[in-house]
Chain A
Amino acid sequence: MFLAVFSPKGSDEVSPDATLMRQLLRRDVGAFEELYERHSRIVYSLVLRILRQGSTAEEVVQDVFLQLWRNSAQYDLSRPFVPWLLTLARNRALDQLRLKSERQRRREEQTEEFPQIASAAPEYERELDEKRRAERVRMLIGSLPTAQKKAIELAYFEGLSHSEIAASLKEPLGTVKSWIRNGLLRLKEGLQAS
């Protein structure tokens, strides 16, 4: 069963990120610098991919890390840090992309300021280091048919809805829904299998 892979295992292990976040609560600038060094590249890569403009992307990354510094007390230390940070960065970048648009208002209603991510990290998250997982994700999504991959990218990087993606790709709505769901399930299965 799907939920079985999320069974807590080694929950008493403290990740380096959780340790650094604890130090951040004591206003430790060194811990902040270490967190920035560890994660600024992937955060910037993601935000740049969404916004496609270096200067705006840096503004958003600055905003994300300052939020981390100023509101570190709101982070739940038992939750995996990197997915939480990436979700926060994606939400911020998409908000920027949708500035002053109807879609932005819709997202603000939906998005929590600090996203909730599974408290017990999936088993496969602990077993794959970041570089290997990045390669695995790229390989798994890259193996999907081009149109299916495009549908997932439009949803994730452009923040488009099912009907917007269907219109953009000129494909039936039901097909787009299946592509996105099945693509994500395939990614999950692939990460579980690795």
Chain B
Amino acid sequence: MNSNDQFRELIEAYAIGSLDAPERAQVEAHLASGCNDCEKALQEARWLVSQLAYLAPNAEPSDMLKGRLLQTVRAEAAEAAEAGTQRQVVRRAGVPAWLWWLWAGVAALLLFSAYSAWNEKQLRNSVANLQQQAEAQRAERQKLEQELHAAKVQAHEAMIWSDPKSKKIMLSSKDPKMPQLEAMWHPDMGLVVRGWKTPSPGDKRVLQLWLISKKSGKLMPSVTFWPDASGKFSAMVENPPDAMSDTQALAITEEPMGGSQQPTGEPMWVGGVS
């Protein structure tokens, strides 16, 4: 294996950014030495890595984002246009002196209207700035509210998990390779289901919790959730549709995005409540 082969084997990992520091330093030193083959291979590997973006579930940004962006861009384009006009005026400095006197009268007349226009633009800019600030404050408030809500949910889950009145429920799968999930049900505070190393549902699919009624045997739909990249998740139901004593078991199925009213497949995990 020659030196280039050795580095070519690291190029994909370098492009995705997963090389550990020593190997990364080696590749960077080799690229800095001017190896054209490896540089070309790196650019191609970066293209390949960029295609992994299509693994992300489809999502749509809010209309507010587009509004904010266009507002900023339009204001900057207007400023650039105005700066361009000023530059053109400066370029006229080479004309004969007598023309300046002729133009001076016209310029004096125009000055007032130009000042008025400038003043109006300043006012418009001020209004635009105030609107931008208000948007930013609204976004910041929304962010804080989301963080506060997340903190409240986390605290609530912790209380359920630690309260001695809570009952622990283990959810098992028929598939021995699947991890066992845990639920904790407090008679007053609600129900929390947690999992680790849980496989991700398919594209545009979510996991959904069901409560199986002791009286009717029917499955009552509950929350939908999605594990993170490491397979970890925590889902809370503050007000379960039935009391713990009236619930025979918990079940989890894979459903289309948004959840279902009736399960569309076999339960992947089931755990007896009482």
Count the A residues whose beta carbon is within 8 Å of the partner chain — how many?
Answer: 81
Which of B42-50, B85-93, B152-160 is found at the contact surface with chain A? B42-50
Contact of A36 among B40, B52, B66 (CB under 8 A): B66
Task: Specify which of A28, A117, A138, A146 is in contact with B46 (CB 8 Å cutoff).
Answer: A117
Pairs of residues from A and B, 5 with the lowest C-beta to C-beta distance, nearest first: A49-B56, A83-B50, A134-B54, A155-B18, A118-B43
Asked if B70 and A162 sit within 8 Å, CB to CB, the answer is: no
**CB nearest neighbor in A for B231:** A150
Q: List A residues at the B interface (Cβ < 8 Å).
A: 2-3, 6, 27-29, 32-33, 36, 40-42, 44-46, 48-49, 52-59, 61-62, 65-66, 69-70, 80, 82-84, 86-87, 89-90, 94, 106-107, 110, 115-119, 121-122, 125, 133-134, 137-138, 141-142, 146, 150, 152-163, 165, 168, 177, 180-181, 184-185, 187-188, 191
- Nearest B residue to A158, CB-CB: B229
Determine whether B108 belongs to the interface, using a CB cutoff of 8 Å to chain A: no
Q: Does B264 contact A (CB under 8 A)?
A: no
Nearest residue, chain B, Cβ from A53: B146
Q: Tell whether A90 pairs with B53 under 8 Å between CB atoms, given A116-B46, A153-B229.
A: yes
Chain B residues packing against A (C-beta within 8 Å):
9, 12-13, 16-21, 24, 28, 40-62, 64-66, 68-70, 72-74, 76-77, 80-81, 139, 142-143, 146, 199, 202-203, 228-231
Known contacts A42-B53, A134-B54, A180-B18: A150-B229 contact under CB 8 Å:
yes
Evaluate contact between A138 and B229: CB separation under 8 angstroms: no
Residues of B within 8 A of A61 (CB): 61, 65
A-B contact pairs, 8 of them (CB 8 A): A42-B53, A66-B73, A118-B47, A150-B229, A153-B55, A157-B56, A162-B18, A187-B48
Distance (whole angstroms) from the CB of A28 to the closest CB of chain B: 8
A49–B55 alpha-carbon span in the complex (Å): 9
